[in-house]
C-alpha cells in the first residue's frame, strides 16, 4: 500500500517586512515528510528570513506556519524542538572536543545522560 504523504512543513501566506523592505511577501509552500526540498533565491530574496520564522527565531507579521501539523503560534516550544538547522557557517566551539560539542547541542534539545550515551553509541556504529 502506498504511504500517505503528509506535510512536515506548511507555510501559508507568510509575510515579514522590515520597515519599507518586504523581505517575505505572501510566500506559501509545503514540504512533504522525507522530501529533500531546495529553497533557492537571489541574495536578499528572503530565504533566511523565512527559515528564521520557521525555526521560531524571528516573529512573522502574518501568515501561518505548521510544523508536523502544529501551528508555531499556538505551540512555539513544541515546534521549536522539531526543527533542526545546519547553519551556513560552522557553529562548533573550537575549544571543545567533537564529543563535547555534540553533548552541548544534544543538551539544548533536552537529550542528556543515558539517552545521550545511547544515541552517541548508535551514531558511532557501536550498537
Ligand X SMILES: Nc1ncnc2c1ncn2[C@@H]1O[C@H](COP(=O)(O)OP(=O)(O)O)[C@@H](O)[C@H]1O
Per-residue contact string for residues 28-57; x = within reach of Mg ion by CB under 5 A: -------------------xx---------
**Is the sign of the CA dihedral 57, 63, 65, 69 positive or negative?**
positive
CB of 48 to Mg ion, least distance (A): 3
Q: Which residues, in sequence order, are bridge partners of residue 22?
A: 17
CB of 33 to Mg ion, least distance (A): 25
> Rounded to whole angstroms, how far apart are CA atoms 109 and 81?
6
> Rounded to whole angstroms, how far apart are CA atoms 28 and 36?
17
Number of Cβ atoms within 10 Å of the Cβ of 101: 16
Is residue 27 a contact residue for ligand X (CB under 6 A)? no
CB of 51 to ligand X, least distance (A): 8
The helix/strand/coil state of 12 is strand
Is the CB of 48 or the CB of 64 nearer to Mg ion? 48
Is the CB of 24 or the CB of 66 nearer to ligand X? 24
Q: Which residues bind ligand X (CB under 6 A)?
A: 18, 21, 23, 41, 43-49
Amino acid at each position: 500500500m502506498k504511504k500517505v504523504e503528509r506535510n512536515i512543513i506548511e507555510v501559508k501566506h507568510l509575510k515579514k517586512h522590515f520597515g519599507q523592505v518586504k523581505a517575505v511577501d505572501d510566500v506559501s509552500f509545503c514540504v512533504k515528510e522525507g522530501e529533500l526540498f531546495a529553497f533557492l533565491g537571489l541574495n536578499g530574496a528572503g530565504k533566511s528570513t523565512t527559515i528564521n520564522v520557521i525555526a521560531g527565531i524571528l516573529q512573522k507579521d502574518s501568515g501561518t506556519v505548521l510544523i508536523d501539523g502544529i501551528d508555531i503560534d499556538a505551540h512555539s516550544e513544541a515546534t521549536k524542538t522539531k526543527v533542526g538547522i545546519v547553519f551556513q557557517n560552522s557553529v562548533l566551539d573550537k575549544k571543545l572536543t567533537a564529543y563535547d560539542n555534540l553533548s552541548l547541542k544534544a543538551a539544548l534539545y533536552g537529550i542528556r545522560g543515558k539517552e545521550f550515551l545511547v544515541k552517541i553509541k548508535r551514531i558511532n556504529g557501536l550498537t
